[in-house]
Amino acid sequence: MTRTAICELFGIEHPILLAGMGTASTPELAAAVSNAGGLGIMGAAGLGPRGLRDWIARCRALTDKPFGIDTLLPASVRRGANLKPLSNGPLPQDLVPQYRAMAAGFLADEGIQPATDDQIWPEPDGPPMFSKDFFEAQMDVIIEERVPVYASGLGSPGPWIERLHANGAKVLAVVGTVRHARQVVPDGIDAIVAQGHDGGGHNSPIGTMALIPQVVDAVGDRVPVLGAGGIVDGRGIAAALMLGASGVWVGSAFLASEEAGLFDGQKQAIVDATEEGTTVSRAVTGKPARMIQSKWTKFWEESEHEPLPMPFQTQVARPALTAANLAGRSQEINPGFAGQGIGMIKAVRPAAAIMADLIAGMDETLDARFKALRG
């Protein structure tokens, strides 16, 4: 059995965290990972206050083990830097109607009916998704509900850290560079996730293999570092531990699980994809993110228009992608975020089976393979 500093920190058996993946890391998936001795982190980035409270209650009903919540706290939105004019002149918010018309044209060309507002926006009475007020409303709920672990997927949770710690919560931040790791550590973070370029979702320019040891060298004497990005089996976990990580934050390996909050077509896209199947695009949230190539990413690659910055691209993309999902066309139009390791995923399975393989593969690699190499 492999135990590290983060097992003590979080009160878990195995140094494996389910990455917070927006929509995909459901309460059911997080609870399954926590029940298997890892730490399940729900991906709540797109949930408003009511949705968040519902997910927390659902997770608590399924496990008495520690669990966590991941949301985004992008500095650009909190500072208002996203409201500045674009390099070609206009304010991004003024372009939303024109961009929505382009997205409507895309749907019409695909023969897809538009979705209604209440299908697109889960809590239309709340602040706009991914706006500053939206992020603040989420944090109020997470603190009120005394969630045991909080992870910030973008930006620093610094302004909330005292209140989170006062609840006894542990706080994580996901970083993609050494510079960002150095910025968040003085905020009092309990652990850092170093997520490399290979990973699914919002993306670092630095490859996982190079990023992990450099983040460990920079901050590993003060906080434990978790490796992330392209880790899909026990060999990847063992490699991250060899690079100095105290554990791993695993996302894509759980996308093709029965409990993941994906449409069947999205799970099939994961199973079908090879290591070449992803691309880094701003087409979904306005920030570079690794996702499976699709008609939607191609549309933006071929467009003369750049995607808008966060949160405005969401206001363009979400209506179109929701309509594609409702039309049963997610596999070709919205297969979703995923990392480069998905070529190793061959079937949709229960999360407990995926966890069992990760644990056995990690132990086997650290033990048998290491011994074989050493002779």
Ligand X SMILES: Cc1cc2nc3c(=O)[nH]c(=O)nc-3n(C[C@H](O)[C@H](O)[C@H](O)COP(=O)(O)O)c2cc1C
Task: Note the residues at the interface with ligand X (CB under 6 A).
Answer: 19-22, 24, 43, 45, 70, 72, 153, 174, 195, 198-202, 228-231, 249-252, 255, 336-339, 341
Rounded to the nearest whole angstrom, what is the least distance from the CB of residue 111 to ligand X in the complex?
26
Rounded to the nearest whole angstrom, what is the least distance from the CB of residue 328 to ligand X in the complex?
19
Rounded to the nearest whole angstrom, what is the least distance from the CB of residue 86 to ligand X in the complex?
25
Q: Facing residues of 42 across strands?
A: 69
Rounded to the nearest whole angstrom, what is the least distance from the CB of residue 354 to ligand X in the complex?
12
Q: Which is nearer to ligand X, 28 or 70 (CB)?
A: 70
Q: Answer yes or no: are the C-beta atoms of 108 and 189 closer than 8 Å.
A: no
Task: Please choose, from the candidates 311, 312, 332, the residue with its C-alpha nearest in 3D space to the C-alpha of residue 321.
Answer: 332
Element at 179 (helix H, strand E) = helix 178-184
Separation of alpha carbons 197 and 201, rounded Å: 10
Structure tokens at 212: 């992990």
User: HSE-up of 325 (CA within 13 Å, CB side)?
Assistant: 19
Q: Which is nearer to ligand X, 276 or 304 (CB)?
A: 276
Rounded to the nearest whole angstrom, what is the least distance from the CB of residue 89 to ligand X in the complex?
32
Residues near 212 by Cβ (< 8 Å), separated by ≥ 6?
194, 196, 225, 227, 240, 243, 244, 245
Q: Which is nearer to ligand X, 220 or 229 (CB)?
A: 229
3-state DSSP assignment of residue 43 = strand
Rounded to the nearest whole angstrom, what is the least distance from the CB of residue 196 to ligand X in the complex?
8
Task: Please choose, from the candidates 74, 70, 251, the residue with its C-alpha nearest in 3D space to the C-alpha of residue 147.
Answer: 70
Task: Please choose, from the candidates 269, 256, 202, the residue with its C-alpha nearest in 3D space to the C-alpha of residue 229.
Answer: 202
Task: Please choose, from the candidates 369, 364, 341, 41, the residue with its C-alpha nearest in 3D space to the C-alpha of residue 234.
Answer: 364
Structure tokens at 11: 């009160």
Q: Which is nearer to ligand X, 230 or 319 (CB)?
A: 230
Q: Which is nearer to ligand X, 72 or 77 (CB)?
A: 72
> In one letter, which amino acid is 242?
M
Separation of alpha carbons 358 and 361, rounded Å: 5
Separation of alpha carbons 71 and 47, rounded Å: 9
Residue nearest to ligand X (CB): 153
Rounded to the nearest whole angstrom, what is the least distance from the CB of residue 307 to ligand X in the complex?
17
Distances (CA, A) of 361 to 2, 6, 371: 11, 19, 15
Rounded to the nearest whole angstrom, what is the least distance from the CB of residue 339 to ligand X in the complex?
2
Rounded to the nearest whole angstrom, what is the least distance from the CB of residue 22 to ligand X in the complex?
3
Q: Which is nearer to ligand X, 218 or 240 (CB)?
A: 240
Distances (CA, A) of 115 to 118, 263, 322, 327, 370: 8, 16, 7, 9, 53
Q: Which is nearer to ligand X, 82 or 278 (CB)?
A: 278
Q: Which is nearer to ligand X, 147 or 338 (CB)?
A: 338
Task: Please choose, from the candidates 330, 362, 173, the residue with its C-alpha nearest in 3D space to the C-alpha of residue 263.
Answer: 330
Please state the φ and ψ torsions of residue 345, each to the nearest 5 degrees: -95, 125
Q: Which is nearer to ligand X, 104 or 185 (CB)?
A: 185
